[in-house]
Amino acid sequence: MKKFVYLIIVNEVIIIKVIKYSAAWCMSCIVMDNVLNKLQDLYNFNYVSYDYDNDRDKFIGFDENEKLPIIEFVDDNNRVLVKINGEHSTKEIEGILVDLGVELK
Amino acid sequence: MKRIVVFLVSLFLFVPFVNAEDKYINVYLFHSNTCPHCKQELAWFDEYLENHSNVRLYDYEISDSENRTRYYEVQNILNYDSNGVPFLVVGNDVVIGFSDSLSSRIETLINYYLANDYEDEIGKYLGVSIHESNLETVPDKNTATDDGVLDDVEQDVHEDTDLDNYEVPILGEINAKSVSLPLLAVVMGFVDGFNPCALWILIFLISMLFGMNDRKKMWILGLTFLITSGLVYLLFMVSWLNLAVFVSSVNAIRIMIAAFATIFGVYNIYNFFKNKNSDVGCTVTNDKSRKKIMEKIKVILAQKYFVFSLIGIILLAVSVNVLELLCSLGLPVIFTQVLALNNLSVLEYSIYILIYILFFMLDDIVIFFVAMKTLQIKGISNKYTKYSHLIGGVIMIIIGLLMLFKPEWLMFNF
């Protein structure tokens, strides 16, 4: 129920969905998983993760040479606002969230 | 009684010196152009022979294939099994290596064999057996019969000298030779450990182990995988070391490995700079084989009987590590080649290889132990893998060039 509330815009608070396309065998994906989990405790955003080997259909449309993880910041209309590849620091991801207007919890 | 004692003492003191004046002796030295101890021994003999006209030195450089055959045949005759040079034959005794203490040993042996009859079997084999009354070579004509009765020779290829000691702040005086090889084992093993080929399997295995809900089984299976992986690597390095020791005297092979190290090093550095600004992440490669391994892991962990899971993990560790060896072939091959150049004892070889493997597996061990303690996989950034290519590349180039132009420096004789 709480998550549902975040998905709508309340008092101009932008609810962003963060989608991570990763793989269980990918070290960089684990690094980013830890970063996003940490930020999820601080900011209002939804976090969804797809696995390369279990959710292959979700990876259709990506270039096969793209570095994993692929992280998309999507608005509630499913428009991709920002897309990044590979490892990034907590500070960098936090910067993107702030730029997109995501607020602290 | 007193007279008898005086007579025996006189006989004991007198006989050797009389004989040493009259007789001649051949000594046979097997050496290598790349070995600094050999150069020292040859220089020592240059000086020694000037004052000892009754000693004749025959030297054989073993990068020459005929001389190498002689080297092994001489060891057969003397019942020796060594790859060390300098390898000096005096009478029926052998002196491997060279140092100040060994030079006096050589003199003692020469004096002993000058004073005592012996059969110059090596001279016979080499076709330079000496006639007792002059210096002409008379093959198969040495009639002496006695065997050498001295103790086993001292093997002292790497005797330390004061020149190898350096004063290091805080740590005090450090011996360069005794520190260099362990340090090299630590650095190379650690850098090699960031090879991502084998790491993904451990990561996937841990993520699957989490589903078992049995901490004890998780520990046993995970540790079995790690230990088996280490043993496979150990086996590979020991095999390569044996080969490297066997061919260490062949210059062409040394040059080939040196060239390989240099080229591979340049390639690694090129790759680092090529990908320097690209994203740090994972690329999807070998999709089919990876899926196959992942399926295997799932099947192994789903076994009804734990013992089958255990056997399955061992077989998995063996198979994947053999397949992934190619991924990190460079550094262990080069490290074992450096070990081979140093003519160490079996114990020393083992210690250095174990140090290398311990540091090679350090990141795996840390990831596994942290995961088991926290039930969370903490990733090690792939940026370290990227930098390990740079450091590995630099190490390879340095070792490759030293192997080509200054191999004695790799024996840590500066």
Which residues does chain B have within 8 Å of residue A51's beta carbon, measured at their own beta carbons? none
- Report the candidate in A71, A66, A68, A63 with the shortest Cα–Cα distance to residue A16: A71
Q: Is the model's pLDDT at B312 over the cut of 90?
A: yes
Count Cα atoms within 13 angstroms, Cβ side, for B42.
17
CB-based contacts of B370, cutoff 8 Å, min separation 6: B376, B378
Question: Which backbone phi and psi does B413 adopt, to 5 degrees?
Answer: -115, 90
| Better-scored residue on pLDDT, A30 or B179 | A30
pLDDT for B168: 55
Please report whether residue A105 resides in a domain. Answer: no
Domain count across chain A: 1
- Report the candidate in A34, A98, A32, A18 with the shortest Cα–Cα distance to residue A67: A32
Q: Using one digit for the tens of pLDDT, what is the confidence trace for B26-48?
A: 899 998 887 778 888 998 998 88
Three-state DSSP state, B194: coil
Mutate to test the interface with B, among A20, A22, A28 (most CBs of B within 10 A): A28
Which residues does chain B have within 8 Å of residue A23's beta carbon, measured at their own beta carbons? 282, 284
**A27 has a chain B CB within 8 A of its CB:** yes
What number is the average pLDDT over the span A15-31? Answer: 90
Q: Which residue type occupies A9?
A: I
What number is the average pLDDT over the span B62-78? Answer: 85
CATH number of residue A77's parent domain: 3.40.30.10
The parent domain of residue A55 ranges over 18-99
Please report whether residue A42 resides in a domain. Answer: yes
Q: Using one digit for the tens of pLDDT, what is the confidence trace for B218-232?
A: 999 999 999 999 999
Contact B281 A69 (CB under 8 A): yes
Contact A85 B291 (CB under 8 A): no
Q: Using one digit for the tens of pLDDT, what is the confidence trace for B333-342?
A: 888 888 887 7
List the domains of chain B with CATH numbers.
Answer: 12-159 (3.40.30.10), 165-411 (no CATH)
User: How far is it, in rounded angstroms, from Cα B109 to Cα B233?
Assistant: 44
| Better-scored residue on pLDDT, A15 or B210 | B210
C-alpha distances in Å from residue A80, one per residue of A31, A44, A47, B48, B336: 22, 17, 14, 85, 52
What number is the average pLDDT over the span B119-134? Answer: 71
What SS3 string covers B214-243?
A: CHHHHHHHHHHHHHHHHHHHHHHHHHHHHH
Please report whether residue A5 resides in a domain. Answer: no
pLDDT category at A50 given cuts 50, 70, 90 is: very high
CB-based contacts of A66, cutoff 8 Å, min separation 6: A85
Please report whether residue A63 resides in a domain. Answer: yes
